[in-house]
A and B are shown apart, each in its own frame.
Chain A
Amino acid sequence: MTSNKYVIGVIVSNVSGFLSRVSGMFTRRGFNIDCLTVGETESSGYSRITVSFRGDEDIKLRILRQLEKLHDVKEVEVLDPNETVIRELLLIKVKNTPSTRQDIMTAVEIFRTKIVDYSTTALICELTGETSKIDAFIELMKPYGIMEMCRTGIVAIERGENCLKTK
């Protein structure tokens, strides 16, 4: 069984309880997901959910078909990673000490990270990028002391003219 990483875009009617329905389906059917994000779309009345998960072709099909069955779900599409822009945002609070400050700044520069808060004892970095870049930056910050962090999970949109919209 080969395990791939999949990213699915879902357009959902923006009605009360839709997030419970979609996330509940994953729990109930025993599907593990890596992350799930949700937000507004270009048309009011619809929200867009991005789900990523690992699994084989079979799991992917089962998830797609179960999603399609939900009454609030209007469109579902597996996004081809080669044809998709995938981004995630990280906010990370790192200890700020005179001895580590310069090293952190170097890393921040190389990763094109923004410093969005700075005090003599702590600083907050904001980084946007693909998951692998975010992972690498977190790894790099570990020795300096990560005080707190949060990441948004991924959002994804296809390149070119293709759009995920309700018909």
Chain B
Amino acid sequence: MGGRLKSGAQPPPPYQKIIKDFDTMKISGAKIVAETLIEQGCDTIFGYPGGQVIDLFDELYLCQDRIRNILTAHEQGAAHAADGYARATGKVGVVIATSGPGATNLVTGIATAFLDSVPMVAITGNVPTSLIGRDSFQEVDIVGVTMPVTKHNFIVKDIRELADTLRTAFKIAKSGRPGPVLVDIPKDVQTATWDFEPKPDPVRPYPVSFASEGKLKKASDLIAHAERPYIYFGGGVISGKASEEVRKLAEKIDAPMGCSLMGLSAVPSDDPRFLGMQGMHGHYASSVAEDEADLVIALGARFSDRATGNKSRYAQNFKIIHIDIDSAELSKNISADLPIQGDIKDAVFRLTAMVQKKEHPEWSARIAELRQEEKKRLASALALADKKLSADRLTPYDIVDAISAHSEPEDIVVTDVGQHQMWVAQRYPFMKPRTLLTSGGLGTMGYGLGAAIGASTASGGRTILFTGDGSFGMNLNELATAVSQNSPIVIVIMNNGVLGMVRQWQTLFFDKHYSNTTLERKTDFVKLAEAFGAKGARVVNKDELKKAAAEAFAYNGPFVIDCAVNSDEFVLPMLPPGGSIDDIITEIK
């Protein structure tokens, strides 16, 4: 009974002990979960206990030497932490919560991971199967709730299927375009016992499909005929590990590159062909270059409305080659002239080998001109803001610059959502893939602190969180977690006393009706940090900021820098919602 090792088979050494332990007895569902997580290479879980996962946490307690447990302040924070861990490492992040409210608190975190294609396995407890469907205490149909925001989800009602369901969950989460998978485990399945047959290795992803040779040939023909090619890349280049391939393609065909918010950090920001993020708050040069191109090569990007503006006025003058691992993206937002489904790294590598080396001197000259124009427009917008708001104020770019002066290229930068997110996206010099973690698709305010804890847990190194007073207010309870973990996170609050992004829209499109965006709060973030056991400093000018940044980067733990920012700072440029490149706003009088 029990162990399933065929006689004579030699188990791989690390598992010898486990197999011996299991050889003679059946083990509980809770232990099967813990052992399967370890088998799948999970070294850290983020979670929060409760009545329906008490058995599972009991097992995790017993194997703390093999799997680290991070207790957060709230399940949402745990979900964002698992997401941050996954984005920082590329591994599957794991979060565990109890039934009912524990499970529903995960939903925003799961949806955030879903929209940004982050591999995650969320495990929830549920009431015993005999009580399901009776509105029992803390019962929620979390599988029903999360169906539209997961890649797939399961409820395991039979302990015999538990281990393999978890393995499949990991497999789905990391295959193709990654995403979150939820596994709901009723309490009686955790307490039941069954044989466990450990597997020597984590599951492999489903085989990827490769771009067809014929389609790549067509792509190389389109490129050969293009005078003004432009590469638009997205987060798929990071998850597909194709940064180098994309840079080589750009170099060989002499094309400028721009990216979506999710694509940032895939190529070093000082790459001479890189024009920065494009779209609603993207760089002037990249947005205009795309519009003037005759061929756009979209790589691992999904043509989000924030990246393209008004679809009916997009792509009037250029052809599109669209390469993505997810075939459903190829016809979803834009119907490309040449859609190609396949692994991005392989496709770009083969495409680069096929194309002739080319130079486009006229196009390059035009790009240089656009860069100059961008500089001019930026200087003019900044000068205008100086005149309007005061020249010696602390500008958002000053804050980003002061922080990046201290950071190392491998430091992970996390943002929340709003104006500060865009300022960081525009200004911060990202050098290595996976060094920007931001909620791009869902735009989840309150994402940052949890994600920063996850990233810091994964890397063990310095993590920088840029946030706003609005976003930070949403989930600042996780400061408690950062303190308990002694996470070296530099938390930079761009504190303007308003919900700046919405306020910016109200200024521009709603006759300055600042409805519910003025935060008349009296929060003292320094005292707040201290109350949580962290450190903090308030800064109102560049000198103070410089001093505080030095102190924060030298401190081994969470440090809050509360930066005074004027409430009338704007994120510029801006393509108004529903607008196109012709409507670009680069300064506000």
**Chain A residues near B (Cβ < 8 Å):** 16-17, 20-21, 24, 28, 58, 61-62, 65-66, 68-72
A71/B151 in contact, CB under 8 A: yes
Bitwise, B141-177 to A at CB < 8 A (1) or not (0) is 0011001100110010100000000000000100000
Cβ A24 vs Cβ B335 within 8 A:
no
Are B328 and A62 in touch, CB under 8 angstroms? yes
Return the CB mask of B388-413 against A: 1 if under 8 Å, else 0. Answer: 00000000000000000000000000
Q: Which of B151, B152, B328 contacts A66 (CB 8 A)?
A: B328
A-B contacts, 8 of them at CB < 8 A, read A16-B157, A17-B155, A20-B147, A62-B331, A65-B332, A71-B151, A71-B152, A71-B172
Looking at the assembled complex, report how far the CB atom of B263 sits from the nearest CB atom of chain A, in whole angstroms.
22
Please, which residues of chain A bring their CB within 8 A of the CB of B148?
Answer: 24, 28
Query: Which residues in B have their C-beta under 8 angstroms from that of A58?
Result: 331, 335
Contact yes or no, B331 A21, CB < 8 A: no
**CA distance in complex: A61, B333 (Å):** 12
State whether A69 and B328 are in contact (beta carbons under 8 Å apart), knowing that A16-B155, A58-B335 are contacts in the complex: yes
State A24–B328 Cα separation when bound (angstroms).
16
Determine whether the beta carbon of A69 is less than 8 Å from that of B331.
no
B residues with a Cβ closer than 8 A to A are 143-144, 147-148, 151-152, 155, 157, 172, 326-328, 330-332, 335
Task: Give the CA-CA distance A16 to B156 in the complex, in Å.
Answer: 10
Further pairs besides A58-B331, A58-B335: 8, Cβ < 8 Å: A16-B157, A17-B144, A20-B147, A62-B328, A65-B327, A68-B327, A69-B328, A71-B152
The CA of A9 and the CA of B152, in the complex, are separated in Å by 21
Assembled-state Cα–Cα distance A66/B151 (Å): 11
Q: A58-B335, A71-B151, A71-B172 are in contact. Are A65 and B330 (CB under 8 A)?
A: yes
> B-side binding surface: helix, strand, loop or mixed?
mixed
The answer on a CB contact under 8 Å between B326 and A21 is no
Nearest-CB residue, chain B, relative to A65: B328
For B144, the closest partner residue in chain A by CB is A20
Are A68's CB and B328's CB within 8 A? yes
| Closest partner residue, chain A, to B339 (CB atom) | A61
**Pairwise interchain contact A62-B332, C-beta atoms closer than 8 A:** yes
- Complex CA gap A58/B334 in Å reads 10
Q: Which residues of A have CB within 8 Å of B147?
A: 17, 20-21, 24
- Which among B144, B151, B326, B331 is the interface contact of A61 at CB below 8 angstroms? B331
Q: Would you call B172 and A65 a contact (CB within 8 A)?
A: no
Q: How many Å lie between the Cα of A21 and that of B148 in the bound state?
A: 8
Minimum CB–CB distance for A67 against chain B, Å: 9
Bound: A20/B144 CA distance, A: 8
Question: How many angstroms from the CA of A24 to the CA of B143 in the assembled complex?
Answer: 13
Chain A residues near B155 (CB, 8 Å)? 16-17
In the complex, what residues of B have CB within 8 A of residue A21's CB? 147
Q: Taking CB as reference atom, which chain B residue is nearest A61?
A: B331
Identify the interface centre among B148, B172, B330: most chain A CB within 10 Å of its CB: B148
Measured between beta carbons, the chain A residues less than 8 angstroms from B143 are 17
Closest residue to A60 on the B side, CB-wise? B331
Residues of B near A17 (CB, < 8 A) are 143-144, 147, 155
A residues less than 8 Å from B172 (CB atoms): 71
Kindly report which residue of chain B lies nearest to residue A69, judged by CB atoms: B328
User: Roughly how many angstroms separate A70 CA and B176 CA in the complex, as a whole number?
Assistant: 13
Task: Give the residues in chain B near A66, CB-CB below 8 Å.
Answer: 328
For B330, the closest partner residue in chain A by CB is A65
Shortest 4 CB-CB distances between A and B: which pairs? A65-B328, A71-B152, A61-B331, A28-B148
Residue of A whose beta carbon sits closest to that of B175: A71
Measured between alpha carbons, how far is A58 from B328 in the docked complex, in Å?
12
Q: How far is the CA of A69 from the CA of B157 in the complex (A)?
A: 25
- Distance in angstroms from B268 CB to nearest chain A CB is 33
In the assembled complex, how far is the CB of residue B371 from the closest CB belonging to chain A, in whole angstroms?
Answer: 37
Closest Cβ neighbor of B332 among chain A residues: A62
**A54 vs B307: C-alpha distance in the bound complex, in angstroms?**
30
Distance of B339 from chain A, by nearest CB (Å):
9
Q: Are the CB atoms of B326 and A69 closer together than 8 Å?
A: yes
CB distance from A103 to the nearest CB of B (A): 49
Task: Note all chain A residues with C-beta closer than 8 A to B152.
Answer: 70-72
A61 cross-chain contacts in B, Cβ below 8 A: 331
Bound form: Cα–Cα A127–B362 in Å: 71
A162-B503 Cα distance, complex, nearest whole Å: 60
**CB-CB < 8 A to A16: which residues of B?**
155, 157
For the complex, what is the distance from the CA of A38 to the CA of B147, rounded to whole Å?
20
Question: How far is A156 from B143 in the complex, measured between Cα atoms in Å?
Answer: 31
Q: How far, in angstroms, from A161 to B115 measured CA to CA in the complex?
A: 42
Q: Which residues in A have their C-beta under 8 angstroms from that of B144?
A: 17, 20
Q: What is the bound-complex CA distance between A21 and B152, given in angstroms?
A: 9
Chain B residues near A71 (CB-CB < 8 A) = 151-152, 172
Count chain B CB atoms within 10 A of each CB in A16, A21, A65 and give the residue with the most: A65
> CA of A24 to CA of B157 in the docked complex: distance in angstroms?
22
Q: What B residues does A24 contact at CB under 8 A? A: 147-148
Q: Which of B144, B147, B172, B326 has the most CB of A within 10 A?
A: B147
CA A65 – CA B331 in complex, angstroms? 8
Name the distance in Å between A10's Cβ and chain B's nearest Cβ: 15
CB of A14, distance to nearest CB on chain B (Å): 15
Measured CA separation A91–B326 after assembly (Å): 43
Residue of A nearest to B155 (CB): A16
- Bound Cα distance A16, B335 (Å): 35
- Give B153's nearest chain A residue, CB to CB: A17
Bound-state Cα–Cα, A68 to B147, Å: 16
CB distance from B384 to the nearest CB of A (A): 42
CA distance A50 to B330 in the complex (A): 24
Taken together as a complex, chains A and B put the C-alpha atoms of A160 and B418 apart, in Å, by 59
Residues of A within 8 A of B335 (CB): 58
CA distance in complex: A20, B153 (Å): 12
Please, how many angstroms separate the alpha-carbon atoms of A60 and B535 in the complex?
57
B180 CB, min distance to chain A CBs, angstroms: 13
Closest residue of chain B to A70, judged by CB?
Answer: B152
Give complex CA distance A24, B152 in Å: 13
Contacts of A69 in B (CB 8 A): 326-328
The residue on A at minimum CB distance from B157 is A16
Which residue of A is nearest B176, CB measured? A69
How many Å lie between the Cα of A65 and that of B144 in the bound state? 22
| Chain A residue with Cβ nearest B177 | A69
CA distance A58 to B327 in the complex (A): 13
- B326 contact set on A, CB distance < 8 A: 69
In the complex, chain B residues whose CB is within 8 Å of the CB of A72: 152
B140 to chain A, nearest CB (A): 15
Bound: A61/B330 CA distance, A: 9
In angstroms, Cα B332 to Cα A146, docked, is: 43
- Whole-angstrom distance between the Cβ of A122 and the nearest chain B Cβ: 38
- Docked CA distance A21–B146 (Å): 11
Residues of A within 8 A of B327 (CB): 65, 68-69
Q: With both chains docked as a complex, state the minimum distance between the C-beta of A29 and any C-beta of chain B, in angstroms.
A: 9
Residues from chain B with a CB closer than 8 A to the CB of A20 are 144, 147
